[in-house]
């Protein structure tokens, strides 16, 4: 069952009934000001940091789930009926309800009793504000007297404190109202130099800033007393819960349309110019007034919207593809790329599953996110890499997370996740391949942000590398530390205390438990690093990295192979994990996927065996599960992984983040059908028809789909903020379609399904537009290329040495072209 449809032309998903299985959301903003918005206008906004600069309030774990939002009410001032065109919060039976989620904007609207209303919500580029453009049309045969109300609830900035510290918070709320604009200035009197504002383009018929005056005692947002009465009360908040509500009266002739704009924004003043007059407590509004005036002007707002559209044209235009599979096209061309941008911006901080008050930016997550994002905004990727590297510790280890506002490592969680540092090599390598900007390696970067500790970025990579080598276990495999990619495989934790964090509790010395996954990652990273060194003419160093990589590969063969597949790990007692000898958890996806991705066992048949076993034991129609059989009880020696009931999360759920490792592995084996089949099983668009089962948005990936051992097999959870976005993008674009960035140029190596006659793609790479067409001539993946009319040897297309800005590549797949 579907709840809407894709409008690919407009790059929108159109939801046609408001009661989707879960709130289906979108993100507003792509630089510093962000908002989450659901299909019924639920959600909230923040500036840079979802915890520390939260503009509007949202109650997590609420029922309904998306409650608290950007709510608009319309009231028929004759019949006194009121409703919300976005369905929530009043939930009337609307006609023609639709929610169009697009690239950085959302339009929600409907018709009720002959009154049509739509609101377009978006954040203009380079501004710290959001615009709501409400359009109201009278479709009746008679005049209509309509009151419109727009409302938000302010958060008292620190979202954690806001949700807990009521003995203080109920006393500190402050606002100002001037020229029809509501200013939220809680704590501005003391150490804050920022405030929020909520303005309206039309003559005000009233406002409210105190929640209780607006809602009335004992009422919720579904029936605000002031809306019911048809008149806001001009309340001024002192303490309690500051809100922003505007009322505008419309007298509409039949067929008449009116537009009203609301602007919600964030503003900082210089610390020494907070007040005007200076010795007063009144906000200095000199800077902000022109900004508000600008975006309340419909022409300016429309122009800003047009710029946003062009921004996305440009970003998405960097890679476009036309294949025989609509789900591939739509995800690659639109939604997956878009999701990559969102995960890059927000990491794992703010969604309806991530509270925005917990996690900062993950070291491993953010490095992996680069894989899907680096081509769209290389300058921002560069900065991200430098920020991440500056949180690396002098040992080469890394804080597991850092806070975006301070850019400092997070002490609460600390380090010791032994895969973390290696992802820096993966991230930097992806950046170099995309940009060819070798200067980044010479950038001086601090360790742990300590002044005086700076070393070139290249040195950071070396420390990542030696961090692993200096921490090898009894079999010569890397020690796992607190966890590797799998945060829940906690082999040094041994926690029997409820509530203790599995991630930060370490009760064992950590000198025994080893990870085959990290070994695979190390082999892959060693080759990336060697290629980088070679490019810098550091041949001896390159040889060392290759040698260490090959050594590790041998260790994997010797101690990491179980006979039919790769082992997962050794626990603290030296016992195997992910082996046929185990009662449960006999086989895991991560080590099998990543070892093959790294090229281990490609030439001796082990890679093929490992992926055949993966297919046999782990693949399901809803994706590949993490392990089999699931852990049926809690294992003290394994930690959080066994805390989940079978089929969920790391305990045998389909973790969509790691499925692409197997897809890439399959391409390395030349299996295009299998690779694309796995790709399609978790492709959200391909799952649209089963939206009632899948339940999450059909336009973005979710972190997890419940595995076959769960009663809810096939149900997705935790959409949007997941490494799944980057890895699937990378797998389909670079390995299945095979348009691959290398340090030297573009490699063309498609491993596509047999029955595809070919495909076309456009790729803008290092300033050159490549028009690529691939035509299947026969079976197999052998390719011959004609570049601007001339056949070339091999499949690496070097950047033009002349002034050409467009290059045409024709590829013939299957039987060789020239005999």
Neighbouring C-beta atoms of residue 223, cutoff 10 Å: 14
Cβ proximity to ligand GLC, 244 vs 723, nearer residue: 723
Least distance from ligand GLC to the Cβ atom of residue 293, Å: 42
Assess whether the previous peptide bond of 89 is cis (omega < 30° from 0).
yes
Sole window of 265-273, 357-365, 557-565, 742-750 interacting with ligand GLC (rule: CB under 6 A): 357-365
Q: Which residue has the tokens 């710029």?
A: 307
Query: In this complex, which beta carbon is closest to ligand GLC, that of residue 204 or of residue 703?
Result: 703
Residues in region 651-680 near ligand GLC by CB under 6 A: 657
Stretch near ligand GLC under the rule CB under 6 A, chosen from 175-183, 235-243, 649-657, 686-694: 649-657
> What's 283's DSSP letter?
B
Window 720-759: contact mask with ligand GLC (x via CB under 6 A): --xx------------------------------------
Nearer to ligand GLC, 40 or 642 (CB): 642
CB of 490 to ligand GLC, least distance (A): 9
Q: How far is the CB of 504 from ligand GLC (least distance, A)?
A: 9
Nearer to ligand GLC, 148 or 468 (CB): 468
Interface with ligand GLC includes 649 (CB under 6 A)?
yes
Burial track 336-363 (b if 16+ CB lie within 10 A, e otherwise): bbbbbbbbbbbbbbbbbbbbbbebbbbb
Backbone torsions φ then ψ of 236, nearest 5 degrees: -115, 125
Q: Considering only CA atoms, which of 298, 357, 565, 525 is closest in space to residue 428? A: 525
Angle at 495 between CA 494 and CA 501, to 5 degrees: 120
In the complex, the smallest distance separating the C-beta of residue 237 from ligand GLC, rounded to whole angstroms, is 37
| Residue 568 is a binding residue for ligand GLC (CB under 6 A) | no
Q: How far is the CB of 419 from ligand GLC (least distance, A)?
A: 8
Question: For this structure, is 487 an active site residue?
Answer: yes
Whole-number minimum distance, CB 131 to ligand GLC, in Å? Answer: 32
From candidates 244, 362, 647, 698, binder to ligand GLC by CB under 6 A = 362
Q: What is the DSSP letter of 414?
A: -
- SS3 category, 477: coil
Q: Which helix (H) or strand (E) holds 570?
A: strand 569-570
Of the pair 149, 485, the CB lying nearest ligand GLC is at: 485
Cβ nearer to ligand GLC, comparing 365 with 514: 365
What is the Cα–Cα distance from 571 to 557, expressed in whole angstroms? 18
CB of 363 to ligand GLC, least distance (A): 9
- Dihedral of alpha carbons 543, 546, 548, 550, sign: negative
How many chain residues are in contact with ligand GLC, going by CB under 6 A? 16
Query: By CB under 6 A, is residue 485 in contact with ligand GLC?
Result: yes
As measured in angstroms, the least distance from the Cβ of 657 to ligand GLC is 6
Q: Which of 61, 755 has the CB closer to ligand GLC?
A: 61
Cβ at position 642, least distance to ligand GLC in Å = 12
Instruction: Specify the length of the chain in residues.
Output: 819
Question: In DSSP terms, which residues pair with 182 in a beta bridge?
Answer: 177, 198
342 binds ligand GLC (CB under 6 A): no
Binding segment toward ligand GLC, per CB under 6 A, in 95-103, 242-250, 431-439, 484-492: 484-492
**Least Å distance between CB 395 and ligand GLC?**
20
The only residue of 12, 176, 640, 709 in contact with ligand GLC, by rule CB under 6 A: 640
For 63, other C-beta atoms within 10 Å of its C-beta total 6
When the beta carbons of 178 and 412 are compared against ligand GLC, the nearer one is 412
Residue 108's CB: how many other CB atoms inside 10 A? 29
Task: Considering only the stretches 38-46, 482-490, 665-673, 758-766, report the one whose residues sit in contact with ligand GLC under the rule CB under 6 A.
Answer: 482-490
- Whether cis (ω within 30° of 0) applies to the bond prior to 64 is yes
Report the DSSP beta bridge partners of residue 115. Answer: 112, 138
Of residues 274 and 348, the one with the C-beta less far from ligand GLC: 348
Interactions with ligand GLC, residue window 268-307 (CB under 6 A):
none
Question: Counting Cβ atoms within 10 Å, is residue 77 exposed (0-12), middle (13-18) or buried (19+)?
Answer: middle
Residue with Cβ nearer ligand GLC (493 or 752): 493
Binding segment (CB under 6 A) for ligand GLC, from list 362-370, 432-440, 659-667, 764-772: 362-370
Which of residues 364 and 609 has its CB atom nearest to ligand GLC in the complex? 364
C-beta closer to ligand GLC: residue 357 or 555: 357
Residue 406 CB, nearest distance to ligand GLC (Å)? 19
Q: Does 591 bind ligand GLC (CB under 6 A)?
A: no
Residue 295 has phi, psi (to 5 degrees) of -85, -10
Q: Which residues contact 538 (CB under 8 A, 6 or more apart)?
A: none
| Angle made by CA atoms 445, 446, 448, in degrees to the nearest 5 | 135
Cis peptide leading into 277, omega within 30 of 0?
Answer: yes
Please choose, from the candidates 34, 16, 181, the residue with its C-alpha nearest in 3D space to the C-alpha of residue 104: 34
Among 369, 650, 688, 709, binds ligand GLC (CB under 6 A): 650
Backbone angles phi, psi at 762, to 5 degrees: -120, 130
Least distance to ligand GLC, CB of residue 722, Å = 6
Cα angle, residue 281 at apex, residues 280 and 282 outer, rounded to 5°: 90
d(CA 508, CA 558): 26
Distance CA 407, CA 30 (A): 19
Residue nearest to ligand GLC (CB): 487
The only residue of 158, 365, 548, 715 in contact with ligand GLC, by rule CB under 6 A: 365
Instruction: Answer yes or no whether residue 486 interacts with ligand GLC by CB under 6 A.
Output: yes
Give min distance, CB of 493 to ligand GLC, in A: 11
Q: What is the largest CA-CA distance in the chain?
A: 87
For the chain, give percent helix, strand, coil, nearest 5.
Answer: 30, 25, 45
Identified catalytic residue from 487, 562, 572, 709: 487
Among 422, 441, 488, 809, binds ligand GLC (CB under 6 A): 488
Tell me the window of 217-225, 361-369, 429-437, 807-815 that interacts with ligand GLC (CB under 6 A).
361-369
Q: Could you tell me which of 579, 546, 547, 545 has the C-alpha nearest to residue 560?
A: 579
Q: By CB under 6 A, name the one of 420, 487, 688, 709 that touches ligand GLC.
A: 487
Contact 519, 477 (CB under 8 A): yes
Using CA atoms, how far apart are residues 534 and 678, in angstroms rounded to an integer? 35
> Which is closer to ligand GLC, CB of 147 or CB of 592?
592
Q: What are the E-state strand segments in 253-347?
A: 257-268, 319-322
Q: Is residue 503 at the binding interface for ligand GLC, with CB under 6 A as the rule? A: yes
Q: Which tokens sit at 704?
A: 């997890």
Binding residue for ligand GLC (CB under 6 A) from 703, 741, 784, 795? 703
d(CA 540, CA 546): 10
In three-state form (DSSP H/G/I as H, E/B as E, the rest C), the secondary structure along 400-456 is CEECCCCCCECCCCCCCECCHHHHHHHHHHHHHHHHCCHHHHHCEECCCCCCCCCEE
The contact set with ligand GLC (CB under 6 A) reads 348, 362, 364-365, 485-488, 503, 640, 649-650, 657, 703, 722-723
Q: Tell me the catalytic residues.
A: 487
């Amino acid at each position: 069952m579907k709840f809407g449809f894709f409008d690919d032309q407009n790059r929108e998903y159109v939801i046609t009934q408001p009661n989707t299985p879960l709130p289906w959301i979108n993100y507003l903003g792509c630089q510093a000001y962000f908002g989450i918005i659901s299909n019924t206008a639920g959600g909230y906004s923040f500036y840079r940091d979802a915890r520390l600069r939260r503009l509007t309030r949202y109650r997590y774990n609420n029922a309904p789930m998306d409650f608290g939002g950007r709510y608009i009410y319309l009231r028929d001032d004759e019949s006194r009926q009121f409703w919300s065109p976005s369905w929530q919060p009043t939930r009337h039976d609307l006609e023609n309800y639709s929610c169009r989620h697009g690239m950085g904007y959302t339009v929600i609207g409907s018709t009720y009793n002959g009154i049509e209303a739509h609101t377009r919500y978006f954040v203009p580029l380079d501004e710290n504000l959001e615009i709501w453009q409400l359009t109201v049309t009278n479709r009746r045969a008679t005049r209509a007297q309509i009151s419109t109300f727009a409302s938000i609830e302010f958060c008292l900035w620190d979202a954690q404190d806001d949700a807990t510290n009521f003995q203080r918070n109920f006393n500190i709320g402050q606002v100002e109202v001037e020229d029809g604009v509501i200013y939220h200035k809680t704590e501005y009197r003391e150490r804050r130099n920022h405030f929020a504002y909520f303005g309206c383009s039309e003559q005000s018929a009233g406002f409210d800033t105190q929640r209780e005056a607006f809602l009335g005692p004992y009422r919720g947002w579904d029936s605000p007393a002031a809306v019911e009465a048809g008149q806001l009360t001009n309340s001024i908040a002192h303490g309690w819960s500051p809100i922003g509500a505007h009322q505008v009266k419309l007298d509409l002739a039949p067929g008449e349309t009116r537009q009203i704009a609301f602007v919600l924004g964030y503003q900082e003043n210089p610390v020494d110019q907070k007040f005007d007059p200076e010795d007063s407590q009144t906000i200095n509004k000199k800077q902000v007034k022109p900004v508000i005036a600008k975006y309340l002007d419909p022409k300016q707002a429309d122009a800003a919207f047009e710029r946003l559209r062009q921004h996305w044209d440009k970003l998405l235009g960097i890679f476009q593809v036309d294949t025989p599979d609509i789900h591939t096209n739509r995800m690659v061309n639109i939604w997956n790329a878009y999701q990559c941008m969102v995960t890059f911006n927000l990491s794992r901080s703010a969604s309806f599953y991530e509270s925005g008050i917990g996690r900062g930016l993950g070291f491993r997550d953010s490095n992996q996110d680069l894989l899907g994002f680096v081509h769209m905004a290389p300058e921002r990727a560069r900065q991200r890499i430098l920020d991440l590297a500056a949180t690396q510790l002098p040992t080469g280890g890394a804080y597991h997370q850092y806070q975006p506002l301070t850019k400092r490592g997070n002490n609460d969680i600390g380090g010791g996740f032994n895969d973390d540092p290696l992802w820096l090599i993966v991230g930097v390598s992806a950046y170099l391949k995309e940009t060819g900007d070798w200067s980044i390696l010479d950038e001086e970067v601090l360790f742990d942000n300590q002044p005086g500790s700076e070393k070139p970025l290249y040195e950071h990579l070396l420390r990542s590398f030696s961090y692993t080598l200096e921490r090898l276990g009894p079999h010569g495999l890397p020690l796992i530390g607190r966890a590797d990619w799998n945060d829940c495989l906690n082999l040094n934790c041994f926690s029997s205390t409820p509530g203790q964090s599995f991630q930060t509790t370490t009760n064992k010395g950590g000198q025994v438990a080893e990870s085959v996954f990290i070994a695979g990652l190390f082999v892959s990273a060693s080759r990336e690093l060697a290629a980088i060194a070679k490019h810098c003419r550091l041949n001896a160093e390159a040889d060392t990295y290759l040698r260490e990589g090959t050594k590790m590969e041998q260790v994997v063969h010797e101690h990491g192979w179980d006979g039919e597949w790769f082992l997962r790990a050794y626990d603290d007692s030296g016992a195997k994990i992910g082996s046929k000898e185990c009662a449960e958890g006999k086989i895991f996806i991560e080590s099998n996927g990543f070892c093959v991705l790294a090229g281990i066992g490609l030439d001796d048949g082990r890679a093929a065996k490992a992926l055949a076993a993966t297919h046999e034991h782990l693949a399901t129609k809803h994706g590949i599960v993490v392990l089999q059989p699931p852990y049926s009880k809690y294992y003290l020696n394994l930690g959080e992984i066994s805390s989940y009931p079978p089929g969920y999360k790391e305990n045998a759920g389909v973790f969509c983040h790691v499925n692409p490792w197997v897809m890439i592995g399959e391409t390395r084996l030349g299996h295009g059908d299998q690779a694309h089949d796995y790709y399609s099983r978790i492709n959200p668009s391909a799952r649209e028809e089963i939206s009632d089962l899948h339940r999450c948005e059909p336009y973005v990936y979710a972190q997890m789909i419940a595995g076959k051992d769960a009663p809810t097999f096939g149900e997705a959870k935790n959409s949007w903020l997941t490494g799944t976005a980057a890895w699937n993008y990378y797998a389909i674009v670079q390995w299945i379609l095979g348009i691959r960035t290398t340090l030297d140029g573009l490699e063309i190596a498609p491993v596509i399904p047999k029955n595809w006659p070919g495909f076309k793609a456009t790729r803008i790479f290092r300033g050159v537009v490549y028009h690529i067409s691939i035509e299947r001539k026969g079976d197999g993946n052998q390719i011959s290329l004609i570049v601007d009319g001339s056949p070339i040897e091999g499949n690496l297309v070097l950047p033009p040495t002349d002034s050409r800005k467009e290059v045409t590549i024709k590829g013939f797949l299957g039987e060789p072209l020239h005999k």
